[in-house]
Structure 1
Amino acid sequence: MYLVTSEEMRAIDRDAIERIGIPAIALMENAGRAVAEEAIRMAESAPAGAMKRWLVLAGKGNNGGDGVVAARHLAEAGYDVAIVYAVDPAGFAGEAAVQRDIAALLGLPAAVYGGAAGGGAGAKAEAGSEAIDWRRFDGVIDALLGTGSRGAPQGPYAALIREANESGLPIVAVDVPSGLDADTGETRD
């Protein structure tokens, strides 16, 4: 395993896309699948049936897109999955918007944190909109903020990070735990 700074990670991604020619959507697919595989490894090492329900917390950027891919792969593997978007996913762009649309077409339960359901009639009850019933889940995928985030998390991001940490549930983070500085490892409050 290599540890890289956030700038080095951006350079690695840029090189893969521009020089090698790997489409950004393929990088996102691979990242999301790897996250799902880690969640499945955790679930398989837990007592039978103990980690069947996963909550994916998705931010608006590529990190959120990776999380939506992970949700799809978990659902395809037979896990119960719900997505909570930190912000209205209608504002997503690029590859993250493509993944949002795929998840919606597949009928993955989704809701917007603190707002209206965003993808399925049962999303509000399953994932929550005003408040998440964390007891309904066995594990969390943290796909809120990635290596490109700067400064302390604000608004729904800060609230979701706090609630996830207080839930006591196991958390699998995409790239880096949200709220952690990717360069220093310090918590950004």
Structure 2
Amino acid sequence: MRSFSNLWYWIALAVTWSTASHWVLGVPFDMVQQARRRGGQAAEDMVTLTGVNVRRLVMIGREAGAIVALGVAFVLSSLVVLGFGYGIEFAQALALLAVPLALVGGLSLRMAVRIEPVLARDPAPEEVARLLMRHRVSVQLVGVVAITFTALWGMFQNLQVSVLH
């Protein structure tokens, strides 16, 4: 299972990070842009959708956070050990995709907890948009680092295989 020489892996990586940076806390980025440009109903819709998603994330975090954290930790540590401990390339590829996404999940939960009291006091839509934009930048930063590291690791793996054959 040569993951790093497979075009589909790189397409999946690009689509994953594109989607992660477009859907910020479950709110599509174009909705945030429309809310900032037009205001009115678009801004109200953005605040409403943000509120629904933030309450959902916070509720999941409070009710099942420990179980989810344990499950994610088990899966990620298994992938890392199989991939980098035992040299299984498929597990490496999945780990290089899943570990940064888990970080984004943690950042999203943290931002949801931060936004929840802001939404409770009926904020200006611009304030909500600013918080969503800040979170989007952090997701994009994680994505850039993850893509760069994955590309370098993938090239290293491909060069290593070509030298051995």
TM, length-normalised to structure 2: 0.30
Q: Larger relative CO (CA 8 A, sep 6+): 1 or 2?
A: 2
Q: Which has the higher helix share?
A: 2
Q: Which has the higher strand share?
A: 1
TM, length-normalised to structure 1: 0.27
